[in-house]
Amino acid sequence: MHANMESGTAMGYTDVMDAVLIQTFLKGALMFKQRVLVLDIETSPLLVYVWNLKDQYVGLNQVVQDWHIMAWSAKWLNEPASSIQYYDQKNLKIGDDLPILRPLWQLLDKADIVITQNGKAFDAKKINARFMLHGINPPSSYQHLDTYLIARRVASFTSNSLGYLSDKFCSKYKKLAHTKFPGLSLWAECLKGNKLAWAEMKQYNIHDTLTTEEVYNKLQAWVPQSMPNPEHACPRRYAIKWDKRRNLNGVYQIYKCKKCTHKFKGEKIVEGGK
């Protein structure tokens, strides 16, 4: 079920969730429910040399420091808010995001579905870029649901932004406005090591994940039937081996329910490179 994060790093079914899934699968009960991860990241701005304040082209030789992932938060769909995971660079060297990428990779590797707001254009590609720059293999494949694209697909709102959608639909987690550090100053102060700014970044990032989850739950009824149902699970006795999928990490068994035709990602059957 899992990929190897880096070459030579062995990762098996080491946590309780995976052990339960395997036992359940083998005993012929429910195969598993799809694991749905809600995710949001915050990235640093580019630090560059410029000659004036007007709009201008910035060359690569003007870049002083490249962007990196400053913080991320994630939770499993409809699990308690207290279960949310959050990591940031508060106590790390600026630009060194590898320590916070490792736990992010592990979550993505477990996920069958990932939910973001505008994440297909931003979060996923930014995460992939940092994984690639650090020499990290891709996590196991997952389906990506983007609330921005879902809203644009099924309706014509004045705006599909998280701020607008949460203002109209969310009763508990409307998007937060910055308080002590408005706009860019929040990111700038975090890069300076301001602890108060980091505290606000944590609140802001976590709240965005909770907001995205609430927006998704409001939109879900309008999502076409072709979209996956996170609560779907099938009895093991209906499972048949349907296909095999290969990526850089190995070959995975794909199962199909012969009763409802739903497909599930199964165990790894060949390690990467073999």
Average pLDDT, the chain: 82
Cα 265 from Cα 254, distance rounded (Å): 5
Tens of pLDDT, residues 194-213: 999 999 999 999 999 999 99
Tens of pLDDT, residues 152-210: 999 999 999 999 999 999 999 999 887 899 999 999 999 999 999 999 999 999 999 99
Tell the residue number behind the tokens 């630009």, with chain if given: 95
Residue 60 has pLDDT above 70, yes or no: yes
Tens of pLDDT, residues 198-257: 999 999 999 999 999 999 999 988 876 545 555 556 655 656 666 666 655 667 777 777
197-213 CB burial, b ≥16 within 10 A, e <16: bbebbbebbbbbbbbbb
Residue 80 has pLDDT above 80, yes or no: yes
- The pLDDT value recorded for residue 23 is 40
User: Is the model more confident about 82 or about 222?
Assistant: 82
- Please state, in angstroms and as integers, the Cα–Cα distance from residue 146 to each residue in 175, 209, 221, 229, 271, following that order: 17, 12, 15, 15, 31
The CATH architecture that domain 34-231 belongs to is 2-Layer Sandwich (3.30)
